[in-house]
Chains A and B, each alone.
Chain A
């Protein structure tokens, strides 16, 4: 019998649209309403042929053979205990319950715990550590903002419903005229589809956003006369014109994307943007928000900051304290430098997202690797073990944090395919198995099949007792 489930939240991007209507019949997705084309695909993907219904172990010839959950969990638990510095990376596409369970496992295993922010908005976190985060909710943007700036982000492609739900077009409480009442400023080195919606488009020279922010801040500090004629490819007159638009706004909001946090200077590009927000607040109300990518990539920042005090790149190997310093404890740097000896890829695809030279040092270096993901992604194709899990937002519910750090309750619309486990259940089982193995005398002594033992190198016993 057909059933329509309303008010479902979408497991695609950080906009977390929660107005989806899903039609299901006999635990199959029939129709998806209100979602963008990418969100729609995620639901249909759950009901397609070719899903993996059981954990799989790679064979010496490169093919995969189905194994039981118990075998896969035993392999993962043993790997985590034995490795000297395992890395658990991912979590872009899972719920907070799964992240908390993984946090418990990582702490017990003495692992490095990292999430996709490491290659995404992690540098924004560093800027926030330095200067704070004068932010707001997306509801405030919709209801109050009359000047909206998209800087280094392209929601037309990356967050397809962002502009219509929050940024440019919606009619809010104090913004009844919708798009006609809003001034939209887009700053990007490319003329993007988002730029086509802009009243003012500033085509900044690639890699010179920092200079342009400095120019904006000079105007806000009263040094407009000292501006050079051209800054980062933008004429002085245009900078002054846009500054007048900003000062005349009742509520200014800046959305920034990876154009800032992943061009040269990274965190400083974001840090100077936040400082510009402080300057603008001398004239009018202004807030800022990171355009977070995945639907729950804000989640690990919240969950782990609560568990360990840091949002990402958390080195738990010392047992006594958490250490965080991106550049050293960030996944790509760990991989590049050959600083890990086991890898768990969960709810993401390190194979597709890491620089290839960096991923080669994990995937091609004989480091044991486990992928936990509903789909066969690139990382799964080179993993020793691939463990499928239920798709969050489709087959299991949970808490997910939207890009403005508002928690949204996600719902299951169908049952998990083939009775597969959720991320939380899987990590809890790995934790239990680790305790059993430790009771049975399996310990981290620096010697195992993935590490060539060094003669006369014996660890200090007390360290792991």
Chain B
């Protein structure tokens, strides 16, 4: 695998949008060609090279391309958007839409990420070592097809709207979440290892939600069923099993109603 290192040397006055920083765009290009890739600040577009120093070489295909981002990327949006293969390592905080709509490959953020991280993600691995803001692994506004695949892991805390309209894949939050976890969920798995303030599984149709900490305000639509032992992220424990949201439509499969399962660690 070839590694290309980009060091952000200058900061824009506003924010930069860098949806073309993906292994898919870099693969098979020379350093000069990569330097000519456009990033935008509002309505003005700049060549990447005018803000960053580019070293190394991209691989011939996205699968063989690793991008390492050094410097301060905290005001850069859309890194790794729609990437399908390869790897991005970000040694900084990042702004919004990191790994949004990603289909494959791997992104590691060694810092915090802002909102809309992994929005409508379909595959691959996205790991944030720090905290995230809101709408992690959520759907785009008005879209009923949220996250459909992949693994999104946040080592820190997250805000609200985690996995809204989720249909598949896994979100693991190792810290706390605020409100609206798995809202309108139609599948997939969310694991919150910390506490959640409330609204877990509101309007959720099916899927699995695990909470290892406390839920301050349980949705009224969740009903206790039984205690079960489950292995969650490699650790086995006893969970109280609830089903819901009873205030939402639920499909019938072979005469049996399918509910969202909420597992609360005992």
Contacts and interface: CB of A to CB of B under 8 A. Distances in A.
* Interaction A to B: yes
B247 A130 contact: no
Contact of B179 (A214, A227, A265, A452): A265
A268 B247 CA distance: 14
Interface stretch (B134-142, B148-156, B185-193): B134-142
Given A84-B42, A463-B44, 19 more contacts: A85-B42, A129-B141, A208-B217, A214-B203, A214-B219, A218-B247, A221-B246, A221-B249, A268-B183, A268-B203, A272-B202, A318-B43, A328-B96, A328-B115, A341-B14, A457-B50, A458-B50, A460-B45, A464-B44
28 contacts: A126-B141, A126-B142, A129-B141, A129-B142, A130-B141, A130-B144, A211-B217, A214-B203, A214-B220, A214-B247, A220-B247, A223-B223, A264-B160, A265-B180, A268-B180, A268-B203, A271-B203, A275-B203, A317-B42, A317-B43, A318-B43, A319-B43, A325-B141, A339-B14, A341-B14, A454-B12, A456-B50, A459-B45
B184 A130 contact: yes
Contact of A217 (B40, B116, B141, B221): B221
Given A210-B199, A264-B179, A327 B116 contact: yes
A445 interface: yes
A305 interface: no
Interface string A432-465: 0000000000001110000110101111100110
Given A126-B141, A210-B202, A218 B42 contact: no
B14 A325 contact: no
A460 B247 contact: no
Nearest to A445: B44
A364 interface: no
A135 B183 CA distance: 24
A126 B219 CA distance: 22
Interface string A202-244: 0000001011011111101101001110010000000000000
Contacts of B219: 211, 214
Interface string A42-85: 00000000000000000000000000000000000000000111
Contacts of B176: none
A372 interface: no
Interface string B197-228: 01100110000000000000101110100000
Contacts of B142: 126, 129-130
Contact of A444 (B44, B165, B198, B245): B44
A211 B14 contact: no
B10 A457 contact: yes
The 8 closest A-B pairs by CB, nearest first: A129-B142, A217-B247, A85-B42, A84-B42, A110-B43, A463-B45, A223-B246, A317-B43
Contacts of A210: 199, 202
A314 interface: no
Interface of B: 10, 12-15, 38, 40-47, 50-51, 77, 96, 115-116, 134-135, 140-142, 144, 160, 165, 179-180, 183-184, 198-199, 202-203, 217, 219-221, 223, 245-249
A398 interface: no
Contacts of B179: 264-265
A214 B246 CA distance: 8
Interface string A72-113: 000000000001110000000000000000000000001000
Contacts, number: 140
A337 interface: yes
A350 B176 CA distance: 34
Contacts of B115: 327-328
B91 to A, nearest CB: 22
B43 A84 contact: yes
Contacts of B160: 264-265
A228 B116 contact: no
A214 B245 contact: yes
Nearest to B51: A457
A318 B45 CA distance: 9
A218 B10 contact: no
A84 B14 contact: yes
A340 interface: yes
B41 A84 contact: yes
Interface string A341-370: 100000000000000000000000000000
Contacts of A227: 220
A185 B26 CA distance: 60
B180 A452 contact: no
Interface in A248-287: 264-265, 268, 271-272, 275, 279
B40 A318 contact: yes
Nearest to A340: B14
B20 to A, nearest CB: 12
Nearest to B165: A130
A326 interface: yes
Contacts of B249: 221
